[in-house]
Structure 1
Amino acid sequence: MNTLLHPTYFPSISHFVAMSQADSIIYEIEDNFQKQTNRNRTYIYSPNGILLLNIPVKHSKDNHQKTKDIQVDTDFDWQKQHYKSLETAYKSSPFFEFFEDDIRPFFEKKHKFLLDLNFETLEIISKCMRVKFESTKTTEYIQQDNTDLILDYRFLADGKKDPSSFERYMQVFEDKHGFINNLSVLDLIFNEGKFTLDYLKNQKLALK
């Protein structure tokens, strides 16, 4: 079945569970931007626990600005901050060095549009997983009453609405803070490496 998703920033594990179990993926790109969602944020496991990585964006006076028109605010050196946070969090993980060269270049370039940036993070993760996901993009916003033949997982872009709980895997700072569920898929990749896809295919998503 086709699965409908928002492209988000280094998406959550639940996002990739949905992708890994889909026949094909439809990316919703005609939506209005919503603040405080994973469209421009992700969560990792730092030495102090959960850490939010947020991408600053330029806000318009128009409250109905489409996500595809949202521009990244380049006045902030967020790339350097995010990559340093990833290094601190995962440099001692089993697979950080293995994937470091695939991920670092992303943080060394400037991005104008948030949507392009998010799609690039999806491509990076797909490359790390060595899998190609079949996907298309919407040409108009898909209303919820028109999703009978589609698994609508757009709500996963709002972590507060995502009730999914997944099987434990080893995490770097688990001895300090315990297992933390459903972080960015980066957490899974740095800790599980080549076993990431198998893990994702064996998980179950909770419906909203």
Structure 2
Amino acid sequence: MSEGLKMTSLLVDSQYFPPIECYKTLINVDILKIERYEHYQKVSFRNRCYIAGPNGRILLSVPLVKGKNQRTIMKDVKISDAENWQALHWKTLVSAYRRSPWFEYFEEDLQSLYEQKFEYLLDWNQACFEWVNKRIGFEKAAIFTDQYQTTEELVNVTDARDRFTPPGDQDEQAGITNYTQVFQERVGFLRNLSILDLLFCEGKRSIEVLKNA
């Protein structure tokens, strides 16, 4: 890198198969940091993602030991296995994307991921993050934080914690629209779904779709 160019660093919260909007931001940074010392925040992408279904968005939510109202440090948040949520999520993904152009190419590997057991949400999210990064060709390694810092305390780091939030009023403008979704003719284009939606629809072209959005 030439002396005149400045390295960009971004801090984000840990997310379950992050939304496409997040990835559009990630591909333009040099250094990626993932927060692990914040308190868990409910109603966020930390334990949920959205995919496309025949009737609209489908929510996939990872159950937690103390439920969504806990105030636990993120690195200590535990997954609840009281219900077989991984089997349910996998069944939902198969049902939603089995007719997508690229699902069959990733099906076996992704099923293996959903058969692995994880005690902590942070570890599960990171496994999902690394899995999809390898498939789309996103090569930037993520660095975990070693302490919590407020926005004011961060030095030369853009704070994107909680910048990406579940669908709401902002969703009409969020995300990208330059690819074709499985149920688009039926329910219209659904913005800012999980990166899995882009992967199953565009495969190895996903990174280029993000860059050209």
Question: 1:155 aligns to what SS in structure 2?
Answer: coil
2:179 is aligned to: 169
- Confirm whether residue 187 of structure 1 aligns to residue 194 of structure 2: no
> What pairs with 1:54-203 in structure 2 (closer than 5 Å)?
54-59=61-66, 63-147=70-154, 149-159=156-166, 160=168, 164-203=174-213
Gaps of 5+ in 2: 1-7
**1:97 Cα shift?**
0.4
Distance of 1:27 and 1:120 partners within structure 2? 13
Which residue identity does 2:188 align to in structure 1? G
Distance, in Å, in 1 between the alignment partners of 2:126 and 2:175 is 25
Tell me if the contact between 1:74 and 1:110 (Cα under 8 Å) persists in the aligned partners: no
Q: Distance in 2 between matches of 1:158 and 1:99?
A: 27
- In structure 2, the residue matched to 1:206 is none
Superposition CA RMSD, Å: 1.9
Number of equivalent positions: 203
**In 1, Cα distance between equivalents of 2:93 and 2:115:** 14
Shift of 1:157: 4.5
1:14 and 1:156 in contact (8 A); partners too: no
Q: 2: distance between equivalents of 1:182 and 1:158?
A: 10
Q: Contact 2:178–2:209 (CA<8 Å) still a contact in 1? A: no
The one-letter code of the counterpart of 2:41 is: Q
Read off the aligned partner of 1:23 and give its amino acid letter: D
Instruction: Give how far 1:165 is off.
Output: 3.6
Give the distance between the partners of 1:56 and 1:63, measured in 2 at CA: 12
Supply the AA of the counterpart residue of 1:174.
Q
Q: CA deviation at 1:136?
A: 1.2
Other structure's SS at 2:205 match: helix
Please, what TM-score do these two structures have when normalized by structure 2?
Answer: 0.89
Q: In terms of mean alpha carbon deviation, does 48-57 or 157-166 score higher?
A: 157-166
Shift of 1:181: 0.4
Instruction: Please state whether the residue corresponding to 2:23 is helix, strand or coil.
Output: helix
Q: Which amino acid aligns with 1:81?
A: L
Deviations 1:56-96 (A, max 9, x none): 00117x95311111110011100111011101110000000
Contact 1:102 1:128 survives alignment (8 Å): no
Distance 1:201 1:28 in 2: 25
Shift of 1:53: 0.4
SS in 2 for 1:164: coil
Between the aligned partners of 1:164 and 1:148, the Cα distance in structure 2 is 28
- Report runs of 4+ in structure 1 exceeding 2 Å deviation: 156-165
Equivalent residue letter for 2:210: L
Q: Is the 8 A contact 1:9 1:40 kept in 2?
A: yes
2:56 touches 2:187 (CA, 8 Å); kept in 1?
A: yes
